[in-house]
Amino acid sequence: MSTLILKFKDKEVEIESGKSFSSVFPDLAFKDKEKIVGLFINGILYDLHMPIKNSGTIEPVYVDSEESLHILRHSTSHIMAQAVKHLFPHVKLAIGPSIKDGFYYDFDFQETISPQDLKQIEEEMRRIIDEDQHFERFVKPRKDALSLYKKESEEYKLELINDLGEEEEITFYRNGDFIDLCRGPHIPSTGYIKAYKLLNIAGAYWRGDERNPMLTRIYGTSFFQEKLLTSYLVKIEEAKRRDHRKLGKELELFSFHDEGPGFAFWLPKGVVLRNILLDFWREEHRKAGYVEVQTPLILKKDLWIQSGHWENYRDNMYITEIDESPFAIKPMNCPGGMLLYKEKIHSYRDFPMRVGEVGLVHRHEKSGVLHGLFRVRSFTQDDAHIFMLPSQIKEEIIRVIELTERIYEVFGFPYHIELSTRPDKSIGTDEQWDLATKGLEDALIEHGKGYELRPKEGAFYGPKIDFHLEDCLGRFHQCGTIQLDMSLPERFDLNYISSKGKEERPVVIHRTVLGSIERFIGILIEHYGGRFPLWLAPVQVVVMPITEKHVEAAGSAFNRLNDEGIRAELDDRNEKLGYKMREAEVKKIPYIVVMGQKEIESDTVSVRKGGGIDMGPLEMDGFVDLLKQETESKKKQ
């Protein structure tokens, strides 16, 4: 057996190839060994059970690291499956990965299970954890692995093994009486789990395919410390209170109906919010040198073949027929933008051309992934296509980054950037991809913004920069994107006349800032908890008379606000004032104006700010000025 050399700080250790990391422990002076749950060797994550097959530099993974949570949660999913198997012996097991903030396991139950059963499963998990069962990694020949699961009638595991191709050795992990098909990684023993919680039950098609059986998915999370779990559960409860689906209904912004699954219906106040957001977007882009166009919703199949979408994106497209010819509803605005470019001959002097489009697109999403405004089948993209010379790539990308930063700053969103490179399924030459990727990298470096590299996650036609916003609960949402494309200009035979009088190919940037208008509104609703800044609020002020005797004065105050361009409502219903004020507070209207005899006599208005802040009597002129100043400054809250 060959010898490997592992390096840690200034020490080297020789081990036999195939030994596990635990065999290295005695020879290396690790700090807090009991807190190590894994290691990186040359950037590859191992747990303590995996055989080491390559020499390299060791970096321990301690329990306070992000990687350790992945290992912990994967192990907790096994323990949950073990507990479920104890309580429901006839259950069939599917898969149980770790995910962001937790884990899940998919089961095929022979009986009905409800959320009330989660407590019983948690109690059985506690018994397993208290036993401090050790995880053991082992392999079986393929035929023995298949025999094991055939004997137990575990058809989902059999399918997974058959999908492993020609692998002759199949990896398993055992803890106590539980064995699962698994590559790892896992914690040393069940006792490492100090805090866990099962969160909810959902349906999920096997392998995400709606043609397959519907399984029961149990979600959970776990931590190395109880206080971290407590903090996370508090955050979950706050997220429930801020759920945009719940608030969207309460604030009368939008709705969804069975007659159009995945298609949002916008109510009057929601339309006001959309229009405010789009007016802001348009003004910022006007100042940044963009023009706006509009392209058709439905275009011929030939166009989508030319663009590459028919081959690479057809499963996500809605197909129809017009005059016995196939057409498709556009999933992206890009091909239409390419046709508009070809309307006339362009000179190098025209560049850069910054062309925006607020375009409605449709993409077929499976019903199981639809989620309010966050995942819909029809949405509006704030697209733009920038046509330019190769020499302008870096400067234009920097301009897009700076525009994106300015817009995000208005909403108070911090963000981080990811750079995604060529995927396995793509169009274009190696030379085009190398040049495009370097253009993005150079712009990020010159701008001075740090970024995370995402290999093989680019669009099929070019590498991309993605902007991930962080909301008030610390959750990240991918919104803006910059994609550098040298393939579509070639596919559509786009040209310009160079300074030398020759035809040359332009370079194209595809970019969005908000991403999907629908999704961005959903993020805003949850970020602000429905209490929008004054400039975004669909209703900025509600005016209320104290009694019927004060309706006329309240109407005059409402008319004054309305004439000043302030979005006001008059609530002159014959209801008690306290009731109407509580209702306005539930609707999170920024300001409440009350008109009574005292206000009439003093020629003032009594103002109450959202959140229960009594501002007392104000002169109407002063109140109007306050509202205008707060709106124009786009004060965040």
Q: What are the CB-based long-range contacts (under 8 Å, 24+) for 444-453?
A: 444/397, 444/401, 444/417, 444/419, 446/394, 446/398, 447/398, 447/401, 447/402, 449/401, 449/417, 450/416, 450/417, 451/416, 451/417, 451/418, 451/419, 452/416, 452/417, 452/418, 452/419, 453/418, 453/419, 453/421
Give me the pLDDT at residue 405, please.
Answer: 94
Q: How far apart are CA 343 and CA 495, in angstroms?
A: 11
Give me the pLDDT at residue 449, please.
Answer: 78
Q: Which CATH number is correct for 541-632, 3.40.50.800, 3.40.1190.20, 3.40.50.920, 3.40.50.970?
A: 3.40.50.800
Give me the pLDDT at residue 554, please.
Answer: 96
Complete edge-to-edge strand list for the sheet that includes strand 591-595: 568-570, 541-545, 591-595, 605-609, 613-618
For residue 506, what are its two tokens?
Answer: 């332009």
180 φ, ψ (degrees, to nearest 5) = -140, 145
Specify which residues 255 forms β-bridges with.
Answer: 265
Condensed to tens digits (0 to 9), the pLDDT of residues 128-144 reads 999 999 999 998 888 88
Look at residue 26 and tell me whether its pLDDT is greater than 70: no
Nearest to 380 by CA among 463, 294, 303: 294
Angle of helix 66-87 relative to helix 117-130, nearest 10 degrees, comes to 110
Q: Which residues, other chains included, contact 209 with Cβ-Cβ below 8 Å and sequence gap of 6+?
A: none
Return the SS3 of 623: helix
Q: Is CATH 3.30.930.10 the right assignment for the domain spanning 266-296+346-528? A: yes
Look at residue 12 and tell me whether its pLDDT is greater than 90: no
For residue 114, what are its two tokens?
Answer: 């409800």
**Distance set, CA 430 to CA 234, 460, 464 (Å):** 49, 13, 16
Q: Residue 67: pLDDT band by 50, 70, 90 thresholds? A: confident
Look at residue 596 and tell me whether its pLDDT is greater than 90: yes
Angle of helix 517-528 relative to helix 268-287, nearest 10 degrees, comes to 110
Nearest to 459 by CA among 308, 302, 305: 308
Mean pLDDT computed over every residue of the chain: 91
Condensed to tens digits (0 to 9), the pLDDT of residues 287-320 reads 999 999 999 999 999 999 999 899 888 999 999 9
Q: How far apart are CA 235 and CA 297, in angstroms?
A: 40
Cβ atoms within 10 Å of 475's Cβ, excluding its own? 16
DSSP letter assigned to residue 351:
P
DSSP 198-242: EEEEEEEEGGG-TTSPEEEEEEEEEESSHHHHHHHHHHHHHHHHT
Q: How far apart are CA 200 and CA 83, in angstroms?
A: 16
Nearest to 358 by CA among 339, 378, 381: 381
Average pLDDT over residues 206-235: 91
Active site residues: 334, 363, 381, 383, 385, 464, 510
Q: Residue 17: pLDDT band by 50, 70, 90 thresholds? A: confident
Condensed to tens digits (0 to 9), the pLDDT of residues 223-241 reads 999 999 999 999 999 999 9
| % of the chain with per-residue pLDDT over 70 | 98
DSSP letter assigned to residue 367:
G
For the chain, helix (H) and strand (E) counts, in that order, are 18, 33
Look at residue 28 and tell me whether its pLDDT is greater than 80: no
Q: Residue 48: pLDDT band by 50, 70, 90 thresholds? A: confident
Question: Would the CA dihedral through 120, 126, 128, 131 be positive or negative?
Answer: negative
**Residue 105, Ramachandran bin (φ over 0: left; ψ between -120 and 50: alpha; else beta):** beta
Average pLDDT over residues 140-152: 87
Cite the beta strand spans of 1-91 per DSSP E. Answer: 3-8, 11-16, 36-41, 44-47, 56-62
Q: How far apart are CA 44 and CA 505, in angstroms?
A: 42
For residue 245, what are its two tokens?
Answer: 């689906």
Average pLDDT over residues 37-57: 83
Q: How far apart are CA 244 and CA 600, in angstroms?
A: 40
Condensed to tens digits (0 to 9), the pLDDT of residues 428-455 reads 788 888 888 888 899 999 988 789 888 8
Q: How far apart are CA 245 and CA 242, in angstroms?
A: 9
Q: How far apart are CA 147 and CA 101, in angstroms?
A: 35
Look at residue 278 and tell me whether its pLDDT is greater than 80: yes
Looking at domain 3-62, its CATH architecture is Roll (3.10)
Average pLDDT over residues 353-370: 92
Return the SS3 of 618: strand
Q: How far apart are CA 569 and CA 567, in angstroms?
A: 7
Judged by average pLDDT, the poorest of 387-391, 397-401, 429-433, 537-541 is 429-433
Task: Provide the residue ranges of all domains of the chain, joining segments of one domain with +.
Answer: 3-62, 67-241, 266-296+346-528, 541-632
Cβ atoms within 10 Å of 632's Cβ, excluding its own? 10
For 67-241, which CATH class?
alpha beta
Q: Residue 27: pLDDT band by 50, 70, 90 thresholds? A: low
Q: Is the peptide bond before 185 cis (omega within 30 degrees of 0)?
A: yes
Condensed to tens digits (0 to 9), the pLDDT of residues 88-126 reads 999 999 999 999 889 999 999 988 888 889 999 999 999
Give me the pLDDT at residue 210, please.
Answer: 72
Residues 424, 456 contacting (CB under 8 angstroms): yes
Written as one letter, the residue type at 571 is D
Give me the pLDDT at residue 41, please.
Answer: 83
Residues 370, 261 contacting (CB under 8 angstroms): yes
Nearest to 191 by CA among 119, 126, 136: 126
Average pLDDT over residues 319-347: 95
Look at residue 617 and tell me whether its pLDDT is greater than 70: yes
Look at residue 621 and tell me whether its pLDDT is greater than 80: yes
